[in-house]
A and B are shown apart, each in its own frame.
Chain A
């Protein structure tokens, strides 16, 4: 096996799992998610000579995958807007809810409520282990915006998981 094949195999072994998870959460479809990962690695194979810094490989692969998914859905899905305003979520943020049962099943269901715009950086952060700055680079937005989005994603999850029943006034919050 020559060097190129060895490099490629190393990339597949190191990153295919993370890419699949990322793909899964953006498509919510196991078959499609795998197709997207397969396509990503095929493009990566053809363009392997353009990858000069192997430390940037994961970043490079994720960029290809994002493009692949965007191509699959067309433009509109990636520009999805959240269905709750930031003000509403901020209001929730001020709430101190009681202890909750964070069960995986509920969390998965809750995930469906999180718009992709928020979920994507969340997956990159939790699964990919990237900092908000790196994610910002990848998605072409500021790190501040990424911080807001991942924060919104978690808020949204908790809100769905913990329910809306006890939305208190902001007076409870210390200032």
Chain B
């Protein structure tokens, strides 16, 4: 082994140990010195290359990974949920064809049907209380309409309205005040059990419904003069 080879090998890997290297080191003082300095430099080199690690490097990496993992889970679950919702919606839409919205007449009958328990009430509500309740719906009694058995806010087809049950000559008469739900002209409504009218008012519509067989004309007449609407 000559000096050049010795030095090349040593510089390629200062940790390298071989009989040939050892032999040359013994034989050549210059290369022995070269070897010693190489070792010294290697030590410094290692120290220099081992630059300080920024504080908290590992925790920052782990934090980012946890956030990423959470994001991945969110998307994975989110996508599944989205896909499931889509499948379900499409399925339901196919299974239950969209029903047409209820007409005002039909909704009036359905409402009376659904809330028929109010027809059994005997609250005997004062005219003042009725007016207080109806105020926000733009309606007011200017004269008495007889006994009021029930008076309460109610959720109608489109908006909130006022539900009254009056004592008619032959049984309870339901009056629905429906501001915001407009109708072009007076219409009669009827099904197997109830009959009545839906009529336009200044701020929407009003319905008068009673059980079949009752004469509603009189009640309609009475309300016509007693009930006033503001627009």
Contacts and interface: CB of A to CB of B under 8 A. Distances in A.
A94 B54 contact: no
B186 interface: no
Contacts of B60: 34, 38
Interface residues of A, number: 51
Contacts of A104: 44, 47-48
Q: Is the interface of A mostly helix, strand, loop or mixed?
A: helix
B28 to A, nearest CB: 6
B4 A93 contact: yes
B12 A42 contact: no
Nearest to A125: B13
Contact of A16 (B4, B50, B61, B69): B61
A151 B34 CA distance: 14
Interface size class of B (residues with CB under 8 A): 35 or more
Given A17-B57, A94-B3, A150-B13, A45 B50 contact: no
B54 A34 contact: yes
Nearest to B41: A102
B41 A158 contact: yes
Given A126-B45, A158-B41, A13 B58 contact: yes
B51 A126 contact: no
Interface string A43-56: 00110000000000
B25 to A, nearest CB: 12
Contact of B61 (A25, A41, A151): A41
B68 interface: yes
A12 B58 contact: yes
A155 B11 contact: yes
Contacts of B8: 93, 147, 151
The 3 closest A-B pairs by CB, nearest first: A147-B12, A151-B11, A102-B44
25 contacts: A12-B62, A16-B61, A20-B51, A21-B53, A37-B57, A38-B60, A41-B64, A41-B65, A42-B65, A42-B68, A93-B7, A94-B3, A94-B7, A97-B37, A100-B37, A100-B41, A107-B45, A122-B45, A126-B49, A154-B11, A154-B14, A158-B41, A161-B41, A173-B30, A174-B30
Interface of A: 5, 8-9, 12-13, 16-17, 20-21, 24-25, 30, 34, 37-38, 41-42, 45-46, 90, 93-94, 96-97, 99-100, 102-104, 107-108, 111, 122-123, 125-127, 132, 147-148, 150-151, 154-155, 157-158, 161, 172-175
Given A21-B50, A132-B13, A151-B11, 14 more contacts: A16-B53, A25-B49, A34-B54, A34-B60, A38-B64, A42-B68, A93-B4, A93-B11, A102-B44, A123-B49, A126-B45, A150-B12, A151-B12, A154-B38
